[in-house]
Amino acid sequence: MTATAPLFDRIAIIGIGLIGSSLARAVPAYGLARTVVCGDRSEAACAKALELGIVAEATTDLEAAVDGADLVILCTPMGSFAEMGERLAPRLKPGTILTDVGSVKQAVLRDIGPHVPDGVHLIPGHPVAGTEHSGPEAGFASLFNGRWCILTPPTGANADAVEKVAGLWRRCGSNVETMDAAHHDRVLAITSHLPHLIAYTIVGTASDLEETTKSEVIKFSAGGFRDFTRIAASDPVMWRDVFLNNREAVLETLQLFTEDLTALQRAIRWGEGDRLQELFTRTRAIRRGIIDAKQA
């Protein structure tokens, strides 16, 4: 436990999956609050969180979970955000900060924003971290170390509330960036959403092969295919909601990718080795940049 004073008195985490349970572990590890509680629709998830000792209280009564909290973190699928806003926002006391961990930020402002009462501060956030695993058992306190967390506060957001949320993520080990919600969604469409869509497609193509060939694909999987299967093992509900809620940016990026893929197909067909080598050489620089940025 750090000697630094807690940022919050009572944190309520709604949804105790990978991100929620990692935050629950990070709270005591980094001295973020005096008490952390969770709310989850699943009785089994609540029971597991209590069994693991990562929360002081756990309940399926989500409204009760947020009572008295000075920070509420939504870690539920994005498709539930409109319902969560409608149900939970009226229960928040004045001065409470409401944030989230969703991968699409315009949707947060659209679905939750209208329900937030005066005196409650909505500060959307997105920790760019995760694994293909889910559930209360999957979390670990160091998940956010060295990763980015992007905050997308709405126009006129309370500056002190923004800084407190930023402080929470910094003490979890994250680098914090603030940007416009629409810009966030365009950036993440290329860096995260499109790669997941491609991974799901490639693994789906493999699953459609005849059984003999499919067994050989699994047996002789090289590193590239193994990486795709790891990505494609991510939470299907979460990614369904990501694509539905960021459809414009994803479709725009997918169109650009399709055009580039067509050009690559043409280069292979016509034996344009120089063009292929130029592309492969240029793209290596992106990998070097990611390694230099310590995001590998």
- Tens digits of pLDDT across the chain (296 residues): 445 799 999 999 999 999 999 999 999 999 999 999 999 999 999 999 999 999 999 999 999 999 999 999 999 999 999 999 999 999 999 999 999 999 999 999 999 999 999 999 999 999 999 888 889 999 999 999 999 999 999 999 999 999 999 999 999 999 999 999 999 999 999 999 999 999 999 888 887 776 767 677 767 666 677 788 888 888 899 999 999 999 999 999 999 999 999 999 999 999 999 999 998 888 888 778 777 777 66
Residue 262, Ramachandran bin (φ over 0: left; ψ between -120 and 50: alpha; else beta):
alpha
Task: Find the radius of gyration of the CA atoms of the chain.
Answer: 21
Going from the C-alpha of 12 to that of each of 2, 68, 194, 231, 262, the distances in angstroms are 20, 9, 32, 29, 48
Residue 175's DSSP bridge partners are 148
C-alpha closest to that of 184 among 277, 101, 106, 264: 106
Fold of 8-179: Rossmann fold (3.40.50)
Q: What is the pTM of this model?
A: 0.88
Q: How far apart are CA 39 and CA 46, in angstroms?
A: 7
Tell me whether the CATH fold assigned to 8-179 matches the one assigned to 183-292. Answer: no
In the CATH scheme, what is the code of domain 183-292?
A: 1.10.3660.10
Domain boundaries, the chain: 8-179, 183-292
Nearest 5°: CA angle at 37, between 34 and 41? 170
What are 127's strand-pairing partners? 149
